[in-house]
């Protein structure tokens, strides 16, 4: 046999020579439940290990391979020519190779830290397990090599039996190194330690990159949430309509969470009835079906949340008892989960609900629940601001006792009526109504009884007016009725006004039920002025007022002001 110094020819990398799915290791290594090991190894780039193994090949002249527990070659140096060009090509010698692979792997699976095996082909391999994060994830193989000077006659006979070209085969064997067996454990332990160290560094780096990427995503989402919050707050401060604000809020939340469908329901003034607020991604039929639902325990997620004032999580609408009466609606909307958060103001009063729907059963994380609460807080700001604006407008333009327009709103409507009259060339009418025999109500029964009568007068006046106009309380027991766009003809206009006066008198003459159960009857005096086009507002009010006092002094039901 050639006695020249062993030298390994540089061949292609083993991964390039063998498809990992069909490599011989797949045949010899028994399949294991390696889900956890795959998770550990999944994101490791083993290119650095292959470079390391190649470097050791040049120094030690021994090929090295890292193979996972299912036989996939993860990293390797170049391989022995005697192995891949001869032993693994002939059926008789291949069986020896497979036997060696199987025996080494079996010994490692049985818990050995070091395994040495001389195959029937005359070469020796060794292996050690690779432990990463406490798991046996792969095996490090080192071989082939000789432990002593090879028997040339044995290999000549093997070449003849396997059909190898003897000279080429012996030349390949001459490249196989002779290794001191005593040094093998230290060599393979050193390589295993380096392999583990590199893998751990790669894992740490990958996890750092994953954390960094996750942090960047969280920062980006937080920035988007801050932009959403600023956008909604700007709309609130600018007095944008509530419906528009809620629509933008829901739409932008859905953009931040594409797997969710959002909905806002508003609680009516009665504190029981839910009204549609915003749900652009839900079917219109679904929204119409929910509009007007009375809240209560078991009324879906939102009805229960509105009634209880507590967060309601329904992870599966198909099985949850709250959703059994609404299965058809859930199928219509294609939803399978609903998380609902009550929208509360600073005093704890429920104003509505903010809901997130899912198309598949889903359980929220604590982080997601916190998000829902944050979005519901934004909705609360918009709703509370809208309620405050309505209350301010009511205080500014409406009488607190009767709910009728006050003098300020009357003057605004009178100005609009004059402009419309001038444009349409139609008549308008302004009438003053003063209640007769009202003072005895306050004197005999108290002001609470008087307030009851005034509120009922306001109700009757409003229901008596079938023409376009405004009913206002001018002060005390004085009321003003503005009727606009009557007719272009003065006679026809006066006829319609007389019909209105007749209805008003009939209504106001009906007895009034007082809080003590007694009845009181009041008459009224009415003064009117008819006008067309632009006029002086104060003059019109004075004319109607004058006509009203004329009717009262003359003790007649009504008087016209004659200009």
C-alpha triplet 63, 68, 71: angle, nearest 5°: 80
pLDDT of res. 2: 42
pLDDT at 54: 86
pLDDT per residue of the chain (563 residues) written in tens, 0 to 9: 444 333 332 333 333 333 333 344 444 454 444 444 555 566 666 777 888 888 888 888 888 888 887 777 888 888 778 888 898 888 888 888 888 888 888 888 888 888 888 888 999 989 988 888 778 888 888 888 999 999 999 999 999 999 999 999 999 999 899 999 998 888 888 888 888 887 777 777 777 777 778 778 777 777 777 787 788 888 888 888 999 999 999 998 998 888 999 999 999 988 899 999 999 999 999 999 999 999 999 999 999 999 999 999 999 999 999 999 999 999 999 999 999 999 999 899 999 999 999 999 999 999 889 889 988 998 998 898 888 777 777 778 888 899 899 988 999 999 999 999 988 899 999 999 999 989 889 888 898 999 999 999 999 999 988 888 999 998 889 999 999 989 999 999 999 999 999 999 999 999 999 999 899 998 899 999 999 887 788 899 999 999 999 998 888 877 887 65
How many angstroms separate the CA atoms of 407 and 410, rounded?
A: 5
In this predicted structure, what is the pLDDT of residue 332?
92
Residue 227, preceding peptide bond in cis (omega within 30° of 0): no
Question: What pLDDT is recorded for position 208?
Answer: 76
Q: Residue 40: what pLDDT?
A: 59
3-class DSSP assignment, residue 125: strand
Distance CA 267, CA 352 (A): 5
Residues in the chain, how many? Answer: 563
Furthest-apart CA atoms within the chain: distance in Å: 149
Helical segments of 425-536, H only: 439-445, 447-464, 490-509
432-463 in b/e form (b: 16+ CB < 10 A) is bbbbeebeebeeebeeebbebbbbbbbebbee
pTM above 0.75, yes or no: no
SS (H, E, C) 38-80: HHHHCCCCCHHHHHHHHHHHHHHCCCEEEEECCCCEEEECECC
User: Dihedral through CA 315, CA 318, CA 323, CA 326, nearest 10?
Assistant: 140
**Which residue is it, tokens 């609680």?**
267
264 φ/ψ angles, rounded to the nearest 5 degrees: -125, 125
Phi, psi of 120 (to 5 degrees): -70, -15
């Amino acid at each position: 046999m050639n006695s020249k110094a062993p030298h390994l020819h540089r061949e292609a990398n083993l991964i390039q020579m063998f498809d990992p799915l069909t490599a011989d290791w797949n045949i010899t290594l028994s399949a294991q439940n390696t889900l956890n090991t795959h998770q550990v190894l999944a994101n490791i780039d083993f290119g650095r290990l292959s470079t390391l193994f190649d470097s050791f090949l040049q120094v030690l002249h021994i090929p090295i391979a890292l193979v996972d527990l299912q036989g996939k070659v993860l990293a390797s140096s170049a391989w022995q020519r005697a192995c891949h060009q001869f032993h693994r090509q002939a059926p008789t010698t291949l069986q020896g190779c497979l036997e060696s692979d199987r025996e080494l792997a079996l010994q490692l699976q049985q818990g050995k830290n070091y395994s040495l095996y001389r195959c029937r082909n005359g070469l020796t391999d060794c292996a050690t397990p690779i432990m990463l994060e406490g798991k046996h994830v792969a095996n490090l193989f080192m071989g082939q090599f000789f432990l002593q000077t090879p028997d040339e006659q044995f290999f000549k006979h093997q070449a003849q039996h396997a059909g190898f070209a003897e000279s080429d085969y012996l030349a390949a064997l001459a490249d196989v190194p002779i290794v001191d067996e005593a040094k093998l454990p230290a060599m393979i332990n050193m390589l295993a330690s380096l392999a583990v160290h590199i893998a751990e560094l790669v894992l740490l780096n990958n996890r750092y990159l994953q954390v960094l990427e996750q942090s960047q995503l969280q920062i980006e989402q937080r920035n988007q949430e801050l932009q959403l919050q600023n956008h909604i707050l700007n709309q609130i401060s600018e007095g944008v309509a509530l419906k528009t604000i809620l629509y933008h809020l829901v739409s932008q939340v859905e953009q931040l969470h594409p797997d969710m469908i959002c909905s806002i329901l508003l609680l009516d003034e009665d504190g029981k009835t839910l009204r549609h607020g915003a749900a652009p991604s839900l079917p219109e039929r679904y929204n119409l079906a929910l509009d007007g639902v009375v809240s209560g325990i078991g009324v879906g997620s939102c009805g229960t949340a509105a009634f209880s004032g507590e967060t309601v999580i329904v992870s599966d609408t198909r099985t949850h008892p709250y959703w059994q009466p609404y299965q058809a609606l859930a199928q219509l909307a294609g939803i399978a989960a609903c998380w609902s958060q009550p929208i509360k103001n600073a005093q704890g009063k429920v104003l509505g609900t903010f809901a997130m729907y899912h198309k598949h059963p889903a359980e929220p994380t604590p982080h997601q629940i916190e998000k829902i609460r944050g979005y519901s807080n934004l909705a609360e700001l918009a709703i509370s601001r809208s309620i405050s604006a309505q209350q301010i407008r009511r205080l500014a333009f409406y009488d607190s006792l009767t709910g009728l327009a006050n003098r300020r709103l009357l003057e605004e409507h009178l100005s609009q009526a004059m402009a419309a009259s001038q444009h349409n060339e139609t008549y308008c009418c302004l009438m003053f109504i003063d209640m007769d025999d009202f003072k005895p109500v306050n004197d005999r029964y108290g002001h609470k009884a008087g307030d009851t009568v005034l509120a009922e007068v306001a109700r009757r006046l409003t229901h008596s007016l079938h023409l376009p106009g405004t009913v206002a309380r001018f002060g005390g027991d004085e009321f003003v009725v503005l009727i606009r766009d009557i007719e272009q003809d003065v006679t026809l206009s006066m006829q319609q006004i007389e019909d209105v006066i007749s209805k008003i008198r009939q209504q106001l003459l009906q007895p009034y039920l007082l809080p003590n159960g007694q009845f009181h009857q009041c008459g009224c005096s009415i003064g009117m002025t008819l006008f067309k086009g632009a006029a002086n507002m104060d003059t019109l009010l004075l004319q109607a007022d004058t006509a009203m006092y004329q009717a009262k002094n003359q003790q007649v039901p009504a008087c016209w002001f004659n200009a």
